[in-house]
């Protein structure tokens, strides 16, 4: 993995090398092993390409970037891993291509020469890259199918800038437009993160997963090149599908263990990460290094489950009990986020990445299993809701609303909290019910939360969640799964892992999101994946021999969450009070009386307002660190 950046400009300035160096340094944490830059002219344009390298495949200096083809007419900067690069390399070699390195970067470069933009259909991997083609006078950029690796860009009439992170773009010039994007702000306040193509800055865009971009003749062209299809179901026996899934899972993990440097795994103690570790052990004779974060709050702590995997596979385990450190959070962790981001599991993700980076350069994770195989609580809620709604519940809606107002529990997965969310969701129109599980502030809340200025900002910036939904899956649980695969997974979970792992110069791979595995999983009938009261049926059965019995027989998913409910009442309370009531920009965006009531209700245990508190808090911290002090 690496950090990439670059520009195309029609301006004439003698300090472009210095600008390119600044852009590279801004993403230096993504690639501490080497830095390379290239400036070149193409007609009336100046092109700059920058690269920071984290050496994983072919760690020799000959594989440094930017890299060029034989006649130096095609140049590439690349962030990613191509897991099938050897097969593609062999084909290209048979076609007469000469290779100077053993890297996957050179394979991508020559694949582009051979296949053009269609090269994307040949790749199995995670990537974000940019290729400048002097023959075609164009820049070609692409992002992997699921969105594991991010890529951002900025365009005005005379300049096109891009980078692995927003921070790579901003150092190019202090004249870059940094106005707040109120559509992005509206998304953030609603769901806690900002989906592609938006960023918090009006003029900076994020290339969407499974898309490519061509910049030619001062025109940006975007195109989607991959989409998962849920419309077909396999007419096979459960046993055949189970065995085929076992084979494909094993192949995906084996494929992603390719590396010229030490490799390990994040181990939460859940079914997904435990399966990945078990399959890794099956495919190597070496001891697997595993890394686990725990909490002193028992209902959040899964270390005892992780230890069952450690025991079964004799892994070399590193554990850490996380306690909140406001200074560490503000000074070290949050600056790597670039944008407002309210999923506080970024904190333990940063710490587990830091632990892993002490002994490995690559870690496999279990991300993706819930989206593919029906692991989330809200999928069960939808199955139950469908049965209840069939029973003509109009007269029950007042009861549903009352049940949604039960006093909360601060224990994770507490039954009363599930009841509150479930019955609150049943009183909503169908198209809004899934949002009950993701929503921080609804439209009614926003009118009381936001300042007049912020309300004016979002007034004409409406949210479009339909873009993440396949209309042919409407009114089915598959709709939620498709929604999560296209929104929640790439825009929250994967972006979090990328930023926090790369902050520690660690590459994270996601074998459960191998695109061939995704395409196969999408054809498995829903009733093989889940039924009322039981999740991930086919996945668990396919991994039965791999999982320790204690994990296979687990009834409740905990997930990788943080006990913010209690932390906001104790260790992080001074931080919240400062930003809510002393930071001099709070009233620019928020109604302070509403914030006071929000916090008081939380402190008095009337409601668990920790999601809403962290949403406001993390926006204000971002505003202070990145925007106000720019």
Active site residues: 2
- Comparing CA positions, the residue from 84, 83, 196 lying closest to residue 147 is 196
Q: What is the widest separation between alpha-carbon atoms in the chain?
A: 74
8 A C-beta contact, residue 221 and residue 213: yes
Contact 47, 53 (CB under 8 A): no
Tokens of 219: 């025109």
Unique residue bearing structure tokens 């590396």: 259
Q: How far is the C-alpha of 363 from the C-alpha of 346, rounded, in Å?
A: 16
Q: Are 518 and 371 in contact (CB under 8 A)?
A: no
Cα radius of gyration rounded to whole Å, the chain: 24
69 phi, psi to nearest 5 deg: -80, -170
Q: How far is CA 624 from the centre of its chain?
A: 24
Q: How far is 297 from 410, CA to CA, in rounded Å?
A: 10
Instruction: Kindly give the residue spans of alpha helices, DSSP state H, lying in 503-563.
Output: 515-521, 526-529, 537-542, 549-552
* Residue 35 near residue 28, CB atoms below 8 Å: yes
| Residue 99, both tokens | 């290779």
* Helix/strand/coil for 182: helix
Q: What are 131's strand-pairing partners?
A: 76, 140
The dihedral built from the CA positions of residue 321, 327, 332 and 336, taken in this order, carries a sign that is positive
State the Cα–Cα distance between residues 485 and 276, nearest whole angstrom. Answer: 19
**Beta-carbon-side half-sphere exposure of residue 219 (alpha carbons within 13 Å):** 3
CB atoms within 10 A of CB 471: 7
Residue from 351, 359, 350, 123 nearest 261 by CA: 359
User: How far is residue 14 CA from its own chain's centroid?
Assistant: 38
The two three-digit tokens of residue 311, written as one number:
């025991």
Find, among 207, 231, 229, 230, the residue nearest to 220 by Cα.
207
- Residue ranges in 256-361 assigned as alpha helix (H): 271-282, 303-313, 326-328, 346-357
- What lies within 8 Å, CB to CB, of 417 at 6+ separation is 408, 409, 608
* Encoded tokens for 102: 């053993």
């Amino acid at each position: 993995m690496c950090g990439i950046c670059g520009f195309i400009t029609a301006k004439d300035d003698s300090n472009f090398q210095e600008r390119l160096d600044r852009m590279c340094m801004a993403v230096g944490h993504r690639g501490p092993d080497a830095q390379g830059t290239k400036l070149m002219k193409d007609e009336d344009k100046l092109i700059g390409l920058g690269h920071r390298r984290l050496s994983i495949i072919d760690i020799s200096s000959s594989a440094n970037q930017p890299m060029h083809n034989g006649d130096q007419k095609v140049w590439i900067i690349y962030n990613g891993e191509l897991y099938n690069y050897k097969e593609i390399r062999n084909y290209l070699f048979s076609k007469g291509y000469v290779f100077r390195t053993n890297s996957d970067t050179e394979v991508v470069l020559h694949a582009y020469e051979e296949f053009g933009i269609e090269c994307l259909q040949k790749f199995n991997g995670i990537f974000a890259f940019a290729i400048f083609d002097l023959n075609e006078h164009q820049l070609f950029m692409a992002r992997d199918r699921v969105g594991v690796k991010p890529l951002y860009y900025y365009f005005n009439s005379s300049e096109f800038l891009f980078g692995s992170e927003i921070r790579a773009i901003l150092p190019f010039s202090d004249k870059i437009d940094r106005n707040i994007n109120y559509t992005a702000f509206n998304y953030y306040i609603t769901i806690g993160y900002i989906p592609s193509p938006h960023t918090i800055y009006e003029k900076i865009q994020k290339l969407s997963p499974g898309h490519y971009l061509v910049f030619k003749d001062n025109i940006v062209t975007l195109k989607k090149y991959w989409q998962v299809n849920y419309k077909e179901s396999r007419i096979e026996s459960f046993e055949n599908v189970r065995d085929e899934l076992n084979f494909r899972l094993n192949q995906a993990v084996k494929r992603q263990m390719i590396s010229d440097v030490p490799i390990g795994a994040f181990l939460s103690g859940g079914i997904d990460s435990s399966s990945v570790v078990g399959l890794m052990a099956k495919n190597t004779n070496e001891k697997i290094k595993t890394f686990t974060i725990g909490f002193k709050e028992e209902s959040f702590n899964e270390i005892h489950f992780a230890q069952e995997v450690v025991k079964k596979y004799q892994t070399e385990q590193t554990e850490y009990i996380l306690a909140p450190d406001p200074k560490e959070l503000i000074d070290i962790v949050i600056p790597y986020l670039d944008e407002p981001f309210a999923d506080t599991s970024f904190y333990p993700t940063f710490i587990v990445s830091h632990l892993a980076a002490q002994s490995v350069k690559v870690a496999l994770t279990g991300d993706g299993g819930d989206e593919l195989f029906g692991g989330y609580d809200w999928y069960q809620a939808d199955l139950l809701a469908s049965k209840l709604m069939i029973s003509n519940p109009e007269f029950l809606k007042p009861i549903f609303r009352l049940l949604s107002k039960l006093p909360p529990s601060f224990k994770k997965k507490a039954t009363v909290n599930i009841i509150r969310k479930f019955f609150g969701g049943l009183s909503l129109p169908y198209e809004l019910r899934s949002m009950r599980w993701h929503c921080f502030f609804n439209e009614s809340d926003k009118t009381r939360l936001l300042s007049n200025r912020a309300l004016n900002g979002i007034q004409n910036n409406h949210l479009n969640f339909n873009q993440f939904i396949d209309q042919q899956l409407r009114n089915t649980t598959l709709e939620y799964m498709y929604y999560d695969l296209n929104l929640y997974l790439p825009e929250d979970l994967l972006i979090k892992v990328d930023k926090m792992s790369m902050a520690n110069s660690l590459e994270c791979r996601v074998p459960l999101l191998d695109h061939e595995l995704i395409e196969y999983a999408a054809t498995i009938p829903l009733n093989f994946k889940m039924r009322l009261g039981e999740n991930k049926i086919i996945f668990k059965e396919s991994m039965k021999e791999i999982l320790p019995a204690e994990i296979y027989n687990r009834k409740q998913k905990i997930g990788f969450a943080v006990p913010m409910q209690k932390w906001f009442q104790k260790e992080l309370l001074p931080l919240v009070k400062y930003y809510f009531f002393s930071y001099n920009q709070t009233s620019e965006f928020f109604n302070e009386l509403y914030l006071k009531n929000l916090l008081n209700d939380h402190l008095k245990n009337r409601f668990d307002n920790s999601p809403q508190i962290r949403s406001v808090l993390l926006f204000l911290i971002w505003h202070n660190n990145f925007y106000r002090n720019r």
